Structure 1
Amino acid sequence: MIGQMRQKITIQSPVSTAVGGGGVETTYTEVLTDWVEARPLSSSRELSEYQTVIKNGYRFTIRYRNGFTPDKSMLIVYKGKNYTVNSIEQVEERQKYWRIVGVEKS
């Protein structure tokens, strides 16, 4: 599996900041950059404002790291595009890898 981890991703975590007028602004800060195995998933279509939008997805396999637990609020940056975390599963029982499905953010 390690030999197949040839793509680099950055995982970002949301940070909310209060702004004037009682609003909240969400920005993202980098929490991890690592080599992964990235496998494309089938594209999906959805209707957005009367236009068909094709969303691409990837299944990212990343090594387990102490002190890091991915969650669905995080953002993945891969090849200059942002992906929202759709699902997360732990691969193998000995905490070796995480498998994260990301869908391109529109």
Structure 2
Amino acid sequence: MNPGELRHRISLMQKQTSADTDGYPTETWEPLYSAWAKVEPISGREYYQAAAVQAQHQVRFTMRYRKDITPAMRLRWDGEDYEIKAVIDLEGRRRWLQIMVEAVSSG
């Protein structure tokens, strides 16, 4: 992996739960930190659900290794949020981390 390919700034986010003014729990995604990553679109498709067209696409992000990234987190890139599906230590050497994500949005 060439470090020069890490040209895209991403943010990793964690779910935070707090109470609203009426005391009911609310969930928000708060940024934890940002990092440089390589971005590779993998696939995209459209399908019908609930009488609306849905767009779905998968992206692979490669970044320097961090041990604290989990599928319970989200990733934001270029103003769009992605659900983390898998976190892979490339070559098992703790140098590079591959994050497989999926974004689903109404179209």
Question: 2:86 matched to which residue of 1?
Answer: 87
Confirm or deny that 1:18 pairs with 2:22.
Answer: no
Count, aligned residues:
104
RMSD, matched Cα: 1.8
Aligned amino acid, residue 40 of structure 2? R
Query: Residue in 2 aligned with 1:51?
Result: 52
4+ residue segments displaced more than 2 Å? 18-24, 44-48
Which SS does the other structure have where 2:72 is aligned? coil
In 2, distance between residues paired with 1:29 and 1:63?
21
Name structure 2 gaps, 5 residues minimum. Answer: none
What is the distance in 2 between the residues matched to 1:58 and 1:49?
A: 25
Q: Could you say if the C-alpha distance between residues 13 and 89 of structure 1 is closer, same or farther in structure 2, counting changes exceeding 3 Å?
A: same
Structure 1 residue 47: deviation in Å?
Answer: 3.0
* TM-score of the two chains, using structure 1 as the length reference: 0.85
Q: Which runs of 5+ in 1 are unaligned?
A: none
Tell me, yes or no, if structure 1 residue 100 matches structure 2 residue 93: no
The SS at the match of 1:43 is strand
Q: Evaluate the alpha carbon distance shift between residue 38 and residue 25 of structure 1 in structure 2; reply closer, same or farther with a 3 A threshold.
A: same
For 1:74, give the aligned amino acid: M
